[in-house]
Structure 1
């Protein structure tokens, strides 16, 4: 059928009502600054036509011309019936412009919530336009090129709630997190650390100074009078004494303690002449111990007499023994301590081979030592230790080492008494 036939009955189509006048959009309310759901709303794009819908043809203003030879219908005559043909496509109503007030409805927020999940610029579905591309509203201007349009800001993330906030929504800081509290804590730690380091340094300095200082002579002398009951016996008379290079020719010697006599007075502990020579200093206590060498062939008794004399009296006694050679006289030899059931049980007056007597001047102590053979042999001519230890000596006490035993053990015990009294270990007087 021709095109003219399609429009032959055009006057029977009801007229399309005119479009109502466009209302002016009400002024937009001020956007709140703190609401993220209304601060980033964009312009509502115009709804596009459904896909696949042909454009609506323009409405004819005049009926189409009749074909040649056709008679116009008479006035008031009924119109001839329309030949059947394909139905005319349905004309969708023209969408009216959506007022701006619709943007606050729930449907609008649901339609534009895709940006919250897929990000700005993501299409809402197949066939739907990109919401980031604004469409011209009905009766408005067409959108310009993409380069000329301003980019819409992304959806602002909602601020996290502040827990423990104070008045006005401000976060409340704990006292430990305040800068002033942290600074005070750091300063206190610094002061404490400096104080500890300074105290340790001062203590070390004072200790070194005290260790390097010369001990008071009077205090040492007074303390030396009490060492016999304030010091363990193993400190004053060690169980084992090592004499490195102390034997004849520089040989090493080792002595082991085999007996310790009970502390006692000086009555009956000396020969009469030696007792008279030491009586000027007085006697507080007498300590004795007996040793044996590593070969168990020689025995040595070491004694220490605690005197009552003062420092001047001990100095005078030492001078008297040195100037008058009282330490080298055979009638002034000390007596040995012969303990039973030991190698020294046969050690008596006749078995004495060498001896020495030391009058100490820094503490009130007289130290002596006497040596002999353990097999009980006698000596007709005993020799002082100072003479038996001289280079080139060929006597029996010198070659057997008995002189070295007496001298070195007396030196060692004298040093132990000085150390117990807090004094220096070096000898301060000459051998008697």
Structure 2
């Protein structure tokens, strides 16, 4: 017997019935469908034919030919095997729309989810009345003035006027006292030329701290004091004419030299007969007309024999200064020159000779500082003595 004759016939399967439609939606079609096959069993060689019979098929005798189509009929007669039903596949959720990244600095004006409607402001109506921006509170009425309050205000006013009047009176009285003291000192200083010791009016040594060029210290030593004299013999005629409105009582003079004996200076004090008004008028004239800077109004020198100032004459005058006092009837002056007796052709006022930009001989030698320094210190001593004399 051949191998094909011993194999059992291959049953035929009926076609699969269509699946009922799903209520939840169309079912997803399977990608592949596999039909379950029936296993093939080889019959034993020594088994009797009765063992190969089955319930629906007649036994086949060994060596009997197999009819064509018998295997297909048996397959068709076999019951169909139904595959298990697949659960319904839920629908795939919709993919969210792709988002686009905003550029840097862009502002997203899209309202957020769940936001209400945007607020729309309507323009004001033309006929609508304007709402006031400020409200004024009604003020509380002021009660009528009380008589006691009025009396208190009047008392305060009277007291204030009294205090003001007392202050004014005090200032007037103090001013009058100061004026009286000033007049007393002014009058008393007129006689200082004969009541004050000469060493007080013209000290033997004058210390000039910071009185030299660049703030250097200076020391001046007195060479001699001239006898008191009238103004005609000690002043230039033109300067005497300029001082004529205040008169002349007495003229005092002294000559000093510096620590190096290279310069000499004559300082003088002219006591006048004028009152404070006349002295003030003369002072204003000297300032306004610049009389103190005129070379034809230079004071004269006082030469001292047998000293470094022996040749100190009119031709040796290099720098000078003149001060008209207003608090005392005195005119103080000073004139300086070289101690070697040299002639000076370009004399210069002390106020100009002390300037750094000056190039004259007097300015380069510091003679302006000599005249100005000695005159200022003699003037201070005079004021101090006048004040001490005026006090009781």
Q: How does the TM-score come out when normalised to structure 2? A: 0.53
Structure 1 residue ranges without an equivalent (≥5)? 1-212, 425-432
Does residue 247 (structure 1) correspond to residue 212 (structure 2)? The answer is yes
> Where does 1:12-411 land on structure 2 (aligned, <5 Å)?
216-411=181-376
For residue 271 of structure 1, report the CA deviation from its aligned partner: 1.5
**Distance in 2 between the 1:362 and 1:396 partners?**
35
**Distance in 2 between the 1:337 and 1:395 partners?**
23
1:422 to 376, 387, 391: 387
**Distance in 2 between the 1:353 and 1:262 partners?**
24
**Distance in 2 between the 1:358 and 1:340 partners?**
28
For residue 423 of structure 1, report the CA deviation from its aligned partner: 6.9
1:174-219 CA distance string (max 9 Å, x none): xxxxxxxxxxxxxxxxxxxxxxxxxxxxxxxxxxxxxxx8981101
1:386-424 CA distance string (max 9 Å, x none): 001123333221221110010111111111111111179
**Distance in 1 between the 2:180 and 2:194 partners?**
21
**Distance in 2 between the 1:298 and 1:244 partners?**
18
**Distance in 2 between the 1:253 and 1:277 partners?**
32
Secondary structure in 2 aligned to 1:258?
strand
**Distance in 2 between the 1:279 and 1:340 partners?**
31
Secondary structure in 1 aligned to 2:321?
strand
**Distance in 2 between the 1:249 and 1:399 partners?**
12
How many residues align? The count is 213
Q: Check conservation: 2:346, 2:360, Cα contact below 8 A.
A: no
**Distance in 2 between the 1:311 and 1:215 partners?**
12
Secondary structure in 1 aligned to 2:233?
coil
Residue in 2 aligned with 1:412?
377
Q: Check conservation: 1:215, 1:422, Cα contact below 8 A.
A: no
Secondary structure in 1 aligned to 2:231?
coil
**Distance in 1 between the 2:271 and 2:338 partners?**
28
Structure 2 residue ranges without an equivalent (≥5)? 1-177
For residue 279 of structure 1, report the CA deviation from its aligned partner: 1.1
**Distance in 1 between the 2:244 and 2:210 partners?**
36
Specify the structure having the higher radius of gyration (Cα): 2
**Distance in 2 between the 1:214 and 1:295 partners?**
45
Residue in 1 aligned with 2:132?
none
Q: Check conservation: 1:302, 1:410, Cα contact below 8 A.
A: yes
CA RMSD across the alignment: 1.8
Q: How does the TM-score come out when normalised to structure 1? A: 0.48
For residue 270 of structure 1, report the CA deviation from its aligned partner: 1.5
For residue 232 of structure 1, report the CA deviation from its aligned partner: 0.6
